[in-house]
Amino acid sequence: MSKVLLITGASAGIGAATAKLAAEAGYDLALNYRSDTQGAETVAESARALGIRAELFQADVADPDQVEAMFKAIDASFGRVDALANNAGIVDQGAPVTEFTHARLKRMFDVNVIGAMLVAKEAVIRMQAQGGGAIVNVSSVASRTGSANEYVDYAASKAAIDTFTKGLADEVAAQGIRVNSLRPGITDTEIHAKGGAPDRAKLLAHKIPMQRPGTSEEIARAILFLLSEDASYITGSTLDVSGGR
């Protein structure tokens, strides 16, 4: 029986690349997205062309009712969750802390922190019942660098993910569930345009020791590694995939 991998934020960028590589590796896919139905359908169709099952589950991870409904739908469709790529995330317009609004901070933490924690909680409940599983929480090198004058709120939300990863990993390690955090560096996806800086990855390349942004596929390969049996003794870790940054 194929393993079932849930990928949140699978309609674009790193999530979409993870879906492609996971389909090639033989996973069946539960693909979550929030608004980009066309992108999600394209990802699902490409995955199905490789002979695996791929189903779409539209939900805003920041909404607890939608997360619960999504997992009920996954239960009905697949009956299990073996692996989770907890990837959905947002940035906002670059700005100093003095310009942050309450609404901005609330949305950032609702999506990047509470959403990721709710999804992990529901996945763990299923993995405990099944006797094991693996989770990769997608963080960011911003949790180390702090992202001054750009998005300190985003950086802090990812630091929360790193700490959540360690605590959850320790809670569930004896139950055969591994939980790791993966910190991409600057990666060439549409997230920068969504934050108002479409050329950000190119413009900041000189700050990266390897002098170039990462690709979604380079991040996805590391996610697949941490989810795989090759990482069977790795839990509670954070892995930087950042060209040395």
The CA-CA-CA angle for residues 89, 11, 243, to 5°, reads 55
Binding of ligand NAP by 62 (CB under 6 A): yes
Burial bucket for residue 149 (CB in 10 Å: 0-12, 13-18, 19+): exposed
Q: What token pair was written down for 91?
A: 């940035």
Tokens representing 244 are: 């040395």
Active-site hit among 27, 33, 154, 233: 154
123 in contact with ligand NAP (CB under 6 A): no
Least distance from C-beta 107 to ligand NAP, angstroms? 9
Question: Could you give the CA distance from residue 88 to residue 13 in angstroms, rounded to a whole number?
Answer: 10
Q: Which of 4, 8, 177, 245 binds ligand NAP (CB under 6 A)?
A: 8
Window 95 to 114, contacts with ligand NAP (CB under 6 A): 111
Q: Which of 13, 85, 135, 172 binds ligand NAP (CB under 6 A)?
A: 13
Among candidates 28, 81, 80, 37, which has minimal Cα distance to 55? 28
Closest by Cα among 112, 134, 179, 129 to 25: 134
Please give the residues from 174 up to 233 whose contact with ligand NAP meets the rule CB under 6 A. 184, 186-187, 189-191, 194
Check if 154 is active-site.
yes
Q: What residues does 137 pair with on adjacent strands?
A: 86, 181
- For the bound state, the minimum distance from the C-beta of residue 87 to ligand NAP, rounded and expressed in Å, comes to 5
Where does this chain bind ligand NAP (CB under 6 A)?
A: 8-15, 32-36, 60-62, 87-90, 111, 115, 138, 140, 184, 186-187, 189-191, 194
